[in-house]
Structure 1
Amino acid sequence: MTAYLITSVSVVGAAPTDLLIRDGVVAEVGPGLTAPDATVVDGTGLVALPGLVDLHTHLREPGREDAETVESGSRAAALGGYTAVCAMANTSPVADTAGVVEQVWRLGREASLVDVQPIGAVTVGLAGERLAELGAMADSAARVRIFSDDGHCVADPKLMRRALEYVKAFDGIIAQHAEEPRLTEGAQMHEGEVSTRLGLIGWPAVAEEAIIARDVLLTEHVGSRLHVCHVSTAGSVEVLRQAKARGVRVTAEVTPHHLLLTDERAESYDPVFKVNPPLRTASDVTALRAALADGVIDVIATDHAPHSVEDKECEWAYARPGMLGLETALSIALDVLGPEWDLIAERMSRTPARIAGLTGHGADPAPGVPANLTLIDPAARRTIEPAELASRSRNTPYARMTLPGRIVATFLRGEPTVLDGKAVK
């Protein structure tokens, strides 16, 4: 295993120092380090962060390898500064058995670009009718701890209660896609002034808020753990704020696109801006940013959702919802939060690693810590060109936008997956 000496780098925004990586761990931290056998990486002007961890990634394999594979999605993640991603269950076949989650887990190990942790489905086939093999998935080689029907809400409250009770036995988590389906039938975008003007059926904020409120009460009653996916409204923030004040074991995520974009983007009728939950209003964006800063929202998660050209480049009504996110998330965080490195590390690495139980991830570079880290150049600016992305899909909402920051290197257990901004393999 090659040793690496990263010189004059700022660790999570601190004064420049040197990092020596050897045998998969950070061996030494301090100024003026020497290691004749090490490959030197000039860290001047760079910031070292713990490797990013994404709680919400769609890798599409098995079943939709035309849109993404575990390998291509892992490469995109590494280029975005990630060392671990949690792969959602809405594949084909659905990841609702030990066999499927183990397949995804093994594909991640074979790619060796990031650690791929499968998320298991809550219900069989995501149909919302009966619980999937939660225990078998938890006991499998993949050691699943988070379960989600993302893309579908577990709408039946009795079934949701049973799921929360089941995973409590092994301290698992139910991650809910909060959407009351009877309030969003036929919805195309956020319900508001813009949807009225465009003549599109609206997706009301209350459809999200009502499910979160219900699930918070169920979680409090059961004493289990709930994670709320892609929070998008100011009302949801207030429900979560009250729940946390009562000590309910609930965590929540927000996506980069809900921190930056608004429903006004739908005026272009460009399906790249169609997403579920939909882009909301400027006041929602403001509330989400504030909640992220004060900890009501725990993490930034990408909801990386690649789609083929046929599924995205068509009429708005027929387009599949979803956006790419892995290769741009850190830049959006830097744009929204500024160079608040400790906050970025907390929301994009430490906390998501803790929620997912990913040992070895989410730790700041320090002696003895596994060398899972990323180096970013905060002074760089880059224009996003879809054709240059590592994902097999091109549905980025940031096409031709100029964003701050550039990932220079990513290390997974001491081995580089990205060097000089390029994937190593």
Structure 2
Amino acid sequence: MYVLKNGFVVDSENGLYGKMDILIKNGEIVEIGENISINNAKEIKIYDLSGKTVFPGFIDMHVHLREPGREDKETIETGLKAAVAGGFVGVAPMPNTNPICDNKVVVDYILNQAKELKLAEIYPIGAITKGEKGEELAKIGEMFESGIVAVSDDGHPVTNSMLTRRAFQYIKQFDIPLISHSEDVYISKDGVMNEGEYSIKLGLKGIPNSAEEIMVDRDIILCEAENSRLHIAHASTNGSLRMVKEAKLRGVNVTVEVTPHHFTLTDEEVEKQDYSTDTKVNPPLRNKKDRDAIIEYIRDGIVDVIATDHAPHTKVDKNVEYDFAPFGISGIETAVGLVVTELLKKDVIDLNRMAELLSINPRKILKIKGGIKKGNLAKLSIIDIDKKWIVNKNEFYSKGINTPFNEMELYGKPYMTIVNGNIVMKNGEILG
């Protein structure tokens, strides 16, 4: 049994906003209130959270953990250590592992690995199609029974519209979303960065906004026609978010996420960092107009979720010419700092909105239980909002140190991560 004292608790879902204590026993929240009186104080551990903010546990609903198959890039263990270090109590890994997570056996393996580790929780995402080949539907029903929370062919968009239509029809019976990696690969083929001023200047083949927007539009149309559920992953353009806004106004069941790197950086970063392949991500860093539009859609409430698209790679993979490097940024350990620095401190969002973007909305979309409520298991993300820190990629718990944010000064350091009542991270140290 222990008590968290003097933290500033933020959970609009449960009407909490202010300084209060939280008493936790056997992993469960048993009392929430101001100045909780403690009997048998010698038997109760007290954690003073003065100056810290207590959020319902953050969920990163878009990560790549690489295991099984590419344990040189990341393992479930290193990925979950990175998650709790970054302030996340749970993650939803994409299915593009080797073998692909398109069947019950792989789903069970992932869940069992996470259960043994007792770090962050895992909510697997299953493939839409077998082998992510876009030819026939995967065994979605079987995977749902094993515990998947959504389906996606992230990294390999389903170009066959009829197959996508069938997927929307099929998932309705499970009430799970189809997560769309929105990319027309015929338009984006061989592109390595945003198409525009800097791709011309740097002599690199560009990826136009239309490659993303065409598929966003298609998937909204199919979702609306089938009255199904759609989640747009890593939206990066003004046009994509405008279409989502219009679809929401029509009543389409569509949600959307953006990443910290897309609301922080622009394609100019490729030049600033002298062709560093740590700036290479898909969808690419867009121009200032798109970046500013993303921020406004966050401010206006159109964006539902901030997710990292955590994509760790080895030094060997990234230490090649820009054209040949894999896409991806290792993002789970810098996400909270970027949200605080670029959004909270600049008054784009407030604390309640931060809780929505990182915890409440991801849980609603994926139907995950949580929240700071008496009787619930304690799943909490405790952040030192005003703490300044410098990103040091060599201190990452993730195997992937491919970050464009190295040596950047940020506000907002995760202080404590509590999963099912267990303190798994405190002040940067993994305890789980």
State the TM bucket, normalised to the shorter chain.
over 0.9
Mapped partners of 2:34, 2:368: distance in 1: 30
Report if aligned partners of 1:190, 1:278 keep a CA contact under 8 Å in 2.
yes
* Paired position in structure 2 for 1:410: 417
Pairwise mapping of residues 92-171 of structure 1 onto structure 2 (< 5 A)? 92-140=98-146, 143-171=147-175
Letter paired with 1:12: V
* Paired position in structure 2 for 1:331: 337
Q: Extract unaligned runs of 5+ from structure 2.
A: 12-16
**Superimposed CA distance per residue, residues 300-329 of structure 1 (whole angstroms, 9 cap, x where no aligned partner):** 011000001111121111111000111111
Report if aligned partners of 1:131, 1:159 keep a CA contact under 8 Å in 2.
yes
Pairwise mapping of residues 238-387 of structure 1 onto structure 2 (< 5 A)? 238-267=242-271, 268-338=274-344, 340-359=350-369, 361=370, 363=371, 365-387=372-394
Q: Extract unaligned runs of 5+ from structure 1.
A: none
Report if aligned partners of 1:411, 1:418 keep a CA contact under 8 Å in 2.
yes
Deviation at 1:366, TM superposition (A): 3.2
Letter paired with 1:390: Y
Deviation at 1:144, TM superposition (A): 1.3
Deviation at 1:393, TM superposition (A): 1.6
Report if aligned partners of 2:152, 2:178 keep a CA contact under 8 Å in 1.
yes
* Paired position in structure 2 for 1:76: 82
Letter paired with 1:357: K
Give the aligned CA root-mean-square deviation in angstroms.
1.1
Letter paired with 2:361: T
Report if aligned partners of 1:323, 1:395 keep a CA contact under 8 Å in 2.
yes
**Identity rate, percent:** 40
Deviation at 1:139, TM superposition (A): 1.6
**Superimposed CA distance per residue, residues 155-203 of structure 1 (whole angstroms, 9 cap, x where no aligned partner):** 1111110111111111121111000011011101001111111111110
Mapped partners of 2:196, 2:343: distance in 1: 27
* Paired position in structure 2 for 1:46: 52
After TM superposition, the structure 1 stretch with the greater mean CA deviation from structure 2, 367-376 or 274-283, is: 367-376
Confirm or deny that 1:22 pairs with 2:25. yes
Report if aligned partners of 2:176, 2:366 keep a CA contact under 8 Å in 1.
no
If the length of structure 2 is used for normalisation, what is the TM-score?
A: 0.95
Mapped partners of 1:341, 1:119: distance in 2: 29
Mapped partners of 2:125, 2:373: distance in 1: 30
Deviation at 1:367, TM superposition (A): 2.3
Report if aligned partners of 1:293, 1:343 keep a CA contact under 8 Å in 2.
no
Mapped partners of 2:334, 2:377: distance in 1: 25
Return structure 1 stretches of 4+ with deviation > 4 angstroms: none
* Paired position in structure 1 for 2:14: none
Mapped partners of 1:171, 1:193: distance in 2: 43
Deviation at 1:368, TM superposition (A): 2.2
Letter paired with 1:148: S
* Paired position in structure 1 for 2:240: 236
* Paired position in structure 2 for 1:194: 198
* Paired position in structure 2 for 1:60: 66
Report if aligned partners of 2:278, 2:402 keep a CA contact under 8 Å in 1.
yes
